[in-house]
Amino acid sequence: MSTIDLEALRDFAVDVARRAGTMITSARSDQKSSAAEKKNSVDLVTEVDQAVEAFIIQEIKQRYPEHKFIGEETYSASGQTASILNDEPTWIVDPIDGTTNFIHGFPFVAVSIGFAIKQVPTVGVVYGPFLDYMYTGIKGQGSFLNDQKLPLNSPAPKIGGLGNCVVAVEWGSDRTEDGNLKVKSDTYFNLTRQGGGMCHSLRSLGSAALNLCAVASGSMDCYVEGGMWEWDICAGWVILTEAGGLMTTANPAEEIKEPGLCDRMILAVRGSDTADQHQIVREYWAQTAGRLVYDRK
């Protein structure tokens, strides 16, 4: 296979993301203005999700017919849970990241278009159409918000410990009493309580892609998540790491190392020196109330 022009690929993804964003904002406007609409909100967002993904697939197939494609909607429809990612150049797309936000009119909604080579996130575009935030990144070439290089404060200041952190968290879809929700909620309690982590605060944007981008920009210090899929994080992963951020696992481990794209558990820390980042990881791991479990079969 010939060498891939990553800058051209990034520019193509930006154009597609903007057009997909117009589809999303138009659908939201139609929902608000149509009093006679009989579909419920879940029906609507599923319909828009599918339409946006179909549009993105069509555009990619026309421009890059030799590339593979993994999208949330097509993957979910297949009934699979095992990873289908291999070493081939692959587009990994979430057409609407933040569907609950979309339903409720909360503007943290994103089109997430990632590109991986040999299972390594290589190009990322995350577009928030309601906010007009365009995040981009290419492995080895840095990352940007609307053409402003990330992180927004450069050089990035030291974090200096978990007590100084704004931590992004999410609750996820597993709400069973004896499942991951219990581990998450007890860990969040530990992170905030006096005598525990005493972090500065917790935030939940409702979008994995935008959480990662917020950490990349420096507006949040770290983001912990379990249960997401490769389309939730591929694009944001590039943007984070190209801004100097660190990606590791949410579960405590002997070594601080980068997880696999399909591992479904992450701890992301914003740009700083390595010792400072590792301090945050170790302090976070010390506050965990158990191990998250997300199997892929």
- Looking at the chain, list the stretches that DSSP marks H as alpha helix, in order from N- to C-terminal side: 6-33, 41-63, 72-78, 99-104, 180-192, 208-217, 230-242, 274-287
Q: Provide the CA 139 distance to its chain's centre, in angstroms.
A: 16
Q: From the candidates 49, 53, 73, 97, which is the catalytic residue?
A: 97
From the candidates 72, 221, 225, 263, which is the catalytic residue? Answer: 72
Annotation marks residue 99 as catalytic:
yes
Instruction: Establish whether 174 is an annotated binding residue.
Output: no
Is 156 strand, coil or helix? coil
Active-site annotation holds for 295 = no
For the question of residue 97 being annotated catalytic, the response is yes
Active-site hit among 49, 53, 94, 242: 94
43 is in an annotated binding site: no
- Please tell me which residue in 56, 96, 138, 239 is annotated as part of the active site: 96
Determine if residue 113 is labeled as part of a ligand binding site. Answer: no
Residue among 232, 242, 263, 276 flagged as catalytic: 232
> How many other β-carbons are positioned within 10 Å of the β-carbon of residue 20?
22
Strand order in the sheet with 166-168: 201-203, 166-168, 222-226, 265-269, 246-248
Task: Of 177, 140, 162, 166, give the one whose Cα is nearest residue 288.
Answer: 162
233 in catalytic set: no
94 appears as a binding residue in the annotation: yes
96 is catalytic: yes
Catalytic option among 90, 99, 187, 288 = 99
Query: Is residue 72 part of an annotated ligand binding site?
Result: yes
- 94 catalytically annotated: yes
Active site residues: 72, 94, 96-97, 99, 232
Binding residues for Mg(2+): 72, 94, 96-97, 232
Residues annotated in the binding site, as ranges?
A: 72, 94, 96-97, 232
